[in-house]
Amino acid sequence: MPPLHPVTRRLAWLHFWNDFTLDFISPLLPGQVGVALLGVMEGAADAIGQGLKLVTGRASDRSGRRVPWVRAGYAANAVARPLGAIGMLFGWPLWIVGCRVGDRIGKGLRGSASDALVADWTPAAGRSRAYAAMRTMDHLGATAGALAAAFAAWRWPDQLGWIVASLVLPMVGMLWLCRGLHDVGRAPTAPDQVGWWPRERRLRGPLALITLAALGAKISPLLVLARIAGWPGGEGSWPVWQACLAWAALGLVQSVAAAGAGVVTERVGPRAFLVAGWFAGAALYAGLALASGWALAIAGLGYAVLAGFTEGAEKTYVADLAPASERATAFGALGLLVAMATLAGSGLCGWGMQPQILGAAVFWFPAAALLAAAVGLGLAGPRPTSS
């Protein structure tokens, strides 16, 4: 197999350091904002950021340029994440929510353009491996960040706000990495050829089914962590440092899964891979609803495998079905639809997880969504043929 293009490799390292800083903060959030607000915060932040992907994706397709949007997005991340320390130091949960939303705006600025930049520099036969490499570096960075957070929470539990403020240093390094990115030099697309929604008919069914699956597959992993750790608090709930270690374990499993997913997706195709992954995901969420003790931890690790396996295959499927002239728009549409599903799924699960409402039984909802999506894609999903 040919090596990844240098621009793609640089993007992979940006993914690593981005997720290092993101996942240093993420496992600290349940204790800062509470589980009821957690689902709404994560869903709303993703909805705003992912909705922005449609706008920026269209702008990227019209101009033929990806890199300015990637740089702008990482710059927004570099500002928002360290500012979250203020809310932690003064006990202001709504400030933390605002910073989380600002961080996701950064993802919205860069997300579609970044995914399209990977596709621009990668031939069709190598895209599943390229997207798998992005996800692998995501999760390796997440693992490293969570391990660092676990050590900080164990060693300096009263200084976490100041430590989060110090994340400005790796964020500056990320901005330096952005300097080496460049576009393929694709000509701008005529305005009348780029709408606000992808025009390719074969994308309609897959986008709808990926959205349905996202009601389950894309609920905030912090909610899964909260389930495993026994939050909201009570007897047997985990301390913060132990939850950070669990978060690191989830990230490590996701990185291994993502690394293997690219090879398997190339062999069986993204459609078949997604069908199998969604069926497995339905079983795993049933496990989260029913299990306890070590079985619950195993179900949580299974969730990490699902997350690591499927996102790269989703992006490969969309990239193969979408024409190059509206590829970023297609990724923007995917982001918007997934965001709406994430908001609904995360909000429902965060609300329903409260012991006085449904508790663990709320995880039957994402299981049903994944099962329905797997059946639909298996029966009616188009096979990609574009180059």
Residue 125 to residue 116: CA distance in whole angstroms: 15
Residue 336 identity? L
Local structure of 387: helix, strand or coil:
coil
Which pLDDT score is estimated for 191?
53
Residue 101 identity? V
Global pTM reads 0.66
Q: Which two tokens stand for residue 89?
A: 């130091």
Which pLDDT score is estimated for 387?
47
Kindly report the CA angle at 172 between 51 and 152, in degrees rounded to 5? 90
The pLDDT tens digits along the chain (387 residues) read: 567 888 999 999 999 999 999 888 877 776 677 666 776 777 677 778 877 887 888 888 888 888 999 999 999 998 899 888 898 888 888 888 888 888 889 988 998 888 889 888 888 778 878 888 888 888 788 888 888 888 888 888 788 889 888 888 888 888 888 888 888 876 555 455 556 677 777 888 888 898 898 887 777 666 676 666 665 554 456 666 776 777 677 777 777 777 677 667 777 778 888 888 888 888 888 877 776 666 666 776 777 777 666 777 888 888 888 887 777 788 888 878 887 887 788 777 777 766 667 777 777 888 888 899 999 888 875 665 544
Residue among 299, 29, 34 at smallest CA distance from 146: 29
Residue 234 to residue 209: CA distance in whole angstroms: 38
Residue 227 identity? R
Local structure of 205: helix, strand or coil:
helix
Residue 358 is given by DSSP the state T
Which pLDDT score is estimated for 70?
93
Residue 145 in contact with residue 19, Cβ under 8 Å?
A: yes
DSSP E strands, 204-348 = none
Residue 375 is given by DSSP the state H
Residue 89: other Cβ atoms inside 10 A: 15
CA dihedral 70, 71, 75, 80 (to 10 degrees): 0
Residue 387 to residue 372: CA distance in whole angstroms: 29
CA dihedral 295, 296, 299, 303 (to 10 degrees): -160
Which pLDDT score is estimated for 73?
92
Residue 22 to residue 170: CA distance in whole angstroms: 11
Residue 332 in contact with residue 55, Cβ under 8 Å?
A: yes
Local structure of 158: helix, strand or coil:
coil
Burial class of 267 by CB neighbour count within 10 A (0 to 12, 13 to 18, 19+): exposed
Residue 66 to residue 112: CA distance in whole angstroms: 9
First to last CA, the chain: 17
Q: What domains are there in the chain, each with its CATH number?
A: 6-179+202-379 (1.20.1250.20)
CA distances in angstroms from 57 to 255, 324, 328, 353, listed in the order given = 27, 12, 4, 35
Which pLDDT score is estimated for 220?
65
